[in-house]
Amino acid sequence: MADQRGFYHYLSVNEQAMRWGIYLTAAGRGTIVPGEAYPPPAHPKMYAFDWRRGGTLPEFQLILLTEGSGELVCRALS
């Protein structure tokens, strides 16, 4: 996705990078306005979720929120 409000790019991860133990899977920035779907429909299916069924991400994430409000629900790894 690339437009005036943001961009994102998902990267391939090969076996060598996985052996290093740390790698980058995606980078980007975006603006979600009130009432807009999140994640946007163009995101890969593994990142799609809705509040009724939830979702689990297969990786650690570092996300910086600079403004706005909302709700983040997490559970501890077991």
pLDDT band at 78 (very low <50, low <70, confident <90, very high): low
Percentage of residues of the chain with pLDDT beyond 70: 90
What's residue 35's pLDDT?
84
Q: From CA 70, how far away is CA 59, in angstroms rounded?
A: 22
Handedness of CA 58, 26, 12, 53 (dihedral sign): positive
What mean pLDDT is reported for the chain?
78
What's residue 33's pLDDT?
84
* 20-53 residue pLDDT tens: 888 888 888 888 888 887 777 777 777 777 777 7
Q: From CA 6, how far away is CA 42, in angstroms rounded?
A: 13
What's residue 58's pLDDT?
76
